Every structure is written in structure tokens, then in C-alpha cells.
Amino acid sequence: MNKPTIDEQVAILMRGAEYGDEQIKEHMREELRERLIEAEKAGRPLRVYVGFDPTATYLTIGHTVPMRKLRQFQDLGHHVIFLIGTFTGLIGDPSDKTNARAQQTPEQVAENARTYTQQAFRILDPEKTEVRDNAEWLSKLTFADVIKLASHFTVQQFLARENFSLRHEKGDAIWLHEFFYALMQGYDAVALEADVQGGGTDQLFNLLAGRKLQESFGQRPQVCITLPILVGTDGHTRMGKSKGNYVGIDEAPEIKYGKTMSIPDSAMRNWFELVTRWTPEQIDALLEAVERGELHPMEAKKKLAWEIASIFDGDEAAGKAAAHFERVHQKRQLPKEMPSCALTGPTNVVDVIHSAGLTRSKSEARRLVQQGAVKLDGERVTAIETEIKPQGEKILQVGKRRFLRLIQKS
């Protein structure tokens, strides 16, 4: 198969890009075209990266939006860098926040980053991906270096950002360390000598900061490709751990399927466009069928849920996830297969849930119990002090999709 022409590559790589400003978009499109032409003449690939701060132990399907753009560059023969932001993760990106993000400890960041690469390789080609950690260079900057970086920006430039502007108008605190985040992300572009950086639309300021710093270091400024934000399963806010509205890359296929089925109808186009392999024509046809009443929204969501499970786990797993959903949620039957846990004596319900791996932490288990999301043999459990006695076989249900068979240890 012949390699796409420059114009075809530009069309592929700019597809879905949004900037909120047509002039910026056209400028970035032309810069990308120039870079591709020059790279082809020089016989070298473009250096392309996206950074991911380890704010949790898992990546979500929201993270895969820029990752899939990286994969497009990869498939066209360019050099892709998956950057783990262990140093920027210590500060926390304020880009999409209306208040300061809680800072993490180095130990928390390290633990969160431990499995990032393995998860990323479900999208990226491991043989063609360079993995870097921005602590390599950011941890070596001196105070004088930081002052030099800061000298390229004004306070007014930062206060013009919507999230900082809103907080400033309300009189809410804006911490000085939050300004440093854009400087550090900008310096990543310098350290990597990037030709292209991708990210969400909320990252445009940080990506443009990278261009400014590259120029000050005598480098050619990178092309910025920003992509829309995937809304969470609530259909309103950005997908994220703290909101509990996420679908994790490494979650079981039936969990991915079930969570996808829970999204409101209003979120379907956003998900169709950002996390499926469907063409714009296929997406329009599907949604038009829903509009005309020819296809029920639930059937459209079933197609979406199957597609997402298939992308990450394969067709067979997607088929099983669909059958599981129908049996457990539509027909209200117990799943055919579920993990088992043997109890040796009375055990606290929170301990059972967490030790069985049904939640990521005990605090999450306690919260689910308090919210009434836990049932024992169909009866709701609401007290975190509840102890489960090992008498015969019991079924513990956590949320809508997680089941555990409890048996008495002989």
C-alpha cells in the first residue's frame, strides 16, 4: 500500500483537532504541512509526543483520545514519545480546574505511574514507542533556571486563562506553584526537541507555552494539535477519577460495556466521535437513524458499548460482555461466572469488598456501602460496620456490575 500523500497525511492528522479559533487551526495546519514536507525531504520522522500525569493508577478511555492521534503519527512512520509526567504530576495540572488540584507525594506519583506504559501499549505500538519521564530533566533545573523560564511570561497572560480568570474574579486563591505547571510542560517540549505535541483543548495554553520556550532556546516551535475532551459517564463533566465517571482501559470488558450503556443520550455523539473506529459518515448515519426514530437510543448505545469492548479486548470478549449485560441488567439474572471468596469467620463488608479487588481502596468501598450501592443476597447493606458471617453461600453485589460469591471455608 502506497504511503499517503502530504495532503492526505495532513487531513488524517488534523482530523478532529479543535482550537476554538479558526485562525490558530489554519496556522497549525500549514505548519504541520511544512514540517511533513521538510521531514520527507530530509528522510527523517517527526518527533511527536503527548504527556500524561499519573494522577491515578489507571488510564481511562478519555486518555486514549490523544493516544490514538499518536498512533496515527506512528502508523505514518513518525517517532512517537509517550511522556509520563512524574514531575509535573507533583504539582498537578490546573488547566481544567476551578480550584487548586491537591498535590501528590513522590510515592503516590510513582505508584500511579507503575502500570501506565503497559496500559498505553493497548493503543500504541510498543516496538515504535519511546517512553520518557519528565523527571529526567525537570528535577535537574536549578532555581535560576526556573526564574529564567518564568521571565518569558507575564502574570497577565496567566490571569487571562479562563480557569484562573474565574477564580480571580471570585476572589478565590490562585497559588503561585500553579503558574509553574505551564512552564514545566513547556520545558518538556524543549527537552524532547518536539516537532509536534498533542493534548486536550484545555491544554492549548500549555502547548503554546512550549512553542514560546522552544523559540527562546533556539528551537523551531512545535506544532500543537489539540483534541476535544471526552465527557464522563455522567454526560456533563470531563471523565476523571475524582468524579467516578470514568471507564478504565484495564477494566473488565463487561464493566466497560455496562458503564458505556449508562451514558445519557446527549453524550453519544461525543463518544462516537472520540472513542470509536467509525467514520464521520457512519456516525452521522447512526445518529440520524436515532433522530428519525428508526433506531432506539439503547440499541445505538449497545453498538457503542460493543465497539469499545472490542477495541480493547477483542470481538469475542465484546460479545460475552453484551450477553452479560443482557442477562444481568435486562433480564435481572446473576452472571454465569463470578469470582469467589472463602470466609473463615465473620468479616467486615468493607474488608471483603476491598480484599476481593472490587474497589481500588477501602475508602471507595466505604463510600459505596454508605451510598447504598452494596447488596448481600439482594438486601441493601448501608452500614460500614456490617459483618458477613460464613453461613452457606451468599452473593455480594457491588454497584450494578460487580458480583462476588461468598462461601464458607471448610
- Grid coordinates belonging to 67: 493516544
What does the pLDDT read at residue 392?
Answer: 65
Read off the pLDDT of each residue in 131-150 and give the average, rounded to a whole number: 94
Structure confidence at residue 121 (pLDDT): 92
- Dump pLDDT digits (tens) for 364-376: 889 888 888 888 8
Q: Which pLDDT value is given to residue 179?
A: 83
Half-sphere exposure of 321 (CA within 13 A, CB side): 29
Cα(195)–Cα(271) distance, integer angstroms: 29
If one looks up domain 253-330 in CATH, what number appears? 1.10.240.10
More confident residue, 383 or 196: 196
Assign domain 340-408 to its CATH architecture: Roll (3.10)
pLDDT-wise least confident of 12-21, 72-81, 93-102, 332-341: 93-102
d(CA 182, CA 105): 20
Specify the domain boundaries for CATH 3.40.50.620 within the chain. Answer: 6-227
Q: Where in the chain is the domain with CATH 1.10.240.10?
A: 253-330
The pTM of this model reads: 0.75
Confirm if 123 and 73 have CB atoms less than 8 A apart: no
Which tens digits make up the pLDDT trace of 193-250? 999 999 999 889 999 999 999 999 999 999 999 999 999 999 888 888 767 788 999 8
The listed range with the strongest mean pLDDT (117-121, 191-195, 239-243, 265-269) is 191-195
**What SS3 state is found at 143?**
helix
CB of 330 within 8 A of CB of 302?
A: no
DSSP state of 248: B
Q: In the numeric block, which cell numbers belong to residue 75?
A: 502508523
> Is the distance from CB of 51 to CB of 131 less than 8 angstroms?
no
The distance between the two most distant Cα atoms of the chain, rounded to a whole number of Å, is 74
pLDDT at 95 over 60: no
pLDDT of 6-39, one tens digit each? 999 999 999 999 998 999 999 999 999 999 999 9
pLDDT of amino acid 116: 86
Task: Domain 6-227: give its CATH code.
Answer: 3.40.50.620
Convert the pLDDT of each residue in 340-370 to its tens digit: 888 888 889 899 888 888 888 888 889 888 8
**CA distances (Å), origin 119, targets 34, 74, 94, 106, 275:** 33, 17, 24, 21, 16
What's the mean pLDDT in 273-279? 92
Separation CA 308–CA 314 (nearest Å): 9
Residue 96, pLDDT above cutoff 60? no
Q: What mean pLDDT value characterizes the chain?
A: 87
Phi and psi (nearest 5°) for 43?
70, 35
Q: Where in the chain is the domain with CATH 3.10.290.10?
A: 340-408
- Residue keyed to cell 474574579: 169
In the block, residue with C-alpha cell 452521522: 284
pLDDT at 168: 74
